[in-house]
Amino acid sequence: MAKTVIIEEHGGPEVLKLVDLAVGDPGPGEIRIRHKACGLNFIDTYQRTGLYPMTLPSPLGREAAGIVEAVGEGVTHLKAGDRAAYASGTSGAYTEERVMPADTVVRLPDEISFEEGAAMMLKGLTVQYLFHRTTPLKAGDTVLFHAAAGGVGQIACQWAKSEGITLIGTAGSDAKCQIALDAGADHCINYETEDFVARVQEITNGAGVDVVMDSIGASTFEKSLSCLKPLGMLISFGNASGPVTGVNLGILAKGSYKVTRPTLFTHMADQASAKEMADMLFAKVVSGDVKISIDQSFALEDVAEAHRALEARKTTGQTILTV
């Protein structure tokens, strides 16, 4: 039996329940993994509230790290006893132990702790596909990155700096702006006190940015477009303020802008892609180019408190659940 967090209805943090569930043996293409730590992400709150509807009852959680206990038929890239970490399209990471598809599970280098592994997989692999798989970026390019003090944002600031890409961040306070700057952002705009569109134009001498990476959604979409240079791309990869709806494509004609709405699990749909992406992320962390800052840690049984802190924007960096 494994202590596991589930929801039986959509709603606030109060719907999160900790129950004991049986853990079986892995079938073909599966592994059984005992977790040491689990990651916490905004997508978990979207599923809990029903913004991303789920078939109920359902477990929650998309990333964790631990020890492989058994492998099913056909699994050759992992073996029992391996240190491993994952970001998965299949929910269920908020648990002591689980059986799951093996494709997105990768070996965790000895130099990276279980806590770091659990905190970095979904966010770090998101940054990897934003910078390397969505649109070509090179040294000297300029990126506007919203929520630059958050978990994804802090990794993005460091990643951009390591590749010679100028990153302009936004955040909701001077303190959070300082976090982004300390992480490697070249500039950070406090959107509570400044018009970020005007400030971006000022920073870029009216040229605009090559790419906007926007996880906020509805409240920033049109302003983000106004920050682009002609032929620039808006990557909308989250919905923190609600989903973008009712878009008139004619607004893109102003600068022949490009817009995409990617997801991580499209990019890492097979084991080869997952390994390639993870290898690049691990190399960044092991080299010291990217440091994983775990700023909040909650026990598994305190998951509701963790969700409240995340939704109230009281967190910075990465948040984990300890098992």
**pLDDT class for 240, splitting at 50, 70, 90?**
confident
pLDDT of residue 116: 96
Q: Find, among 90, 109, 108, the residue nearest to 100 by Cα.
A: 90
Structure tokens at 39: 């990651």
| Residues 6 or more apart whose Cβ sits within 8 Å of residue 107 | 77, 78, 82, 83, 84
Question: What's the confidence (pLDDT) of residue 155?
Answer: 95
Tokens read off for 295: 């700023």
pTM of the model: 0.93
Query: Percentage of residues in the chain with pLDDT exceeding 90?
Result: 89
Please compute the mean of the pLDDT values over residues 154-174 and round it to a whole number. Answer: 97
pLDDT tens figures, 245-301: 888 999 999 999 999 999 999 999 999 999 999 999 999 999 999 999 898 999 999
Q: Which domains does the chain have, with CATH numbers?
A: 2-122+265-322 (3.90.180.10), 135-261 (3.40.50.720)
pLDDT over 90 (residue 13): yes
pLDDT-derived band of residue 122, with 50, 70 and 90 as boundaries? very high
Tokens of 258: 């490009």
What's CA 237's distance to the chain center, in Å? 9
- Mean per-residue pLDDT of the chain: 95
Residue 60, Cβ density class (10 Å: 0-12 exposed, 13-18 middle, ≥19 buried): buried
Residues in CB range of 194: below 8 A, 6 or more apart: none
Segment 313-323 mean pLDDT:
86
Contact 291, 285 (CB under 8 A): yes
Distance CA 207, CA 227 (A): 9
φ and ψ at residue 262, rounded to 5 degrees: -85, 165
> What is the C-alpha separation between 59 and 82, in angstroms, rounded?
24
Q: Rounded CA gap, 305 and 282, in Å?
A: 30
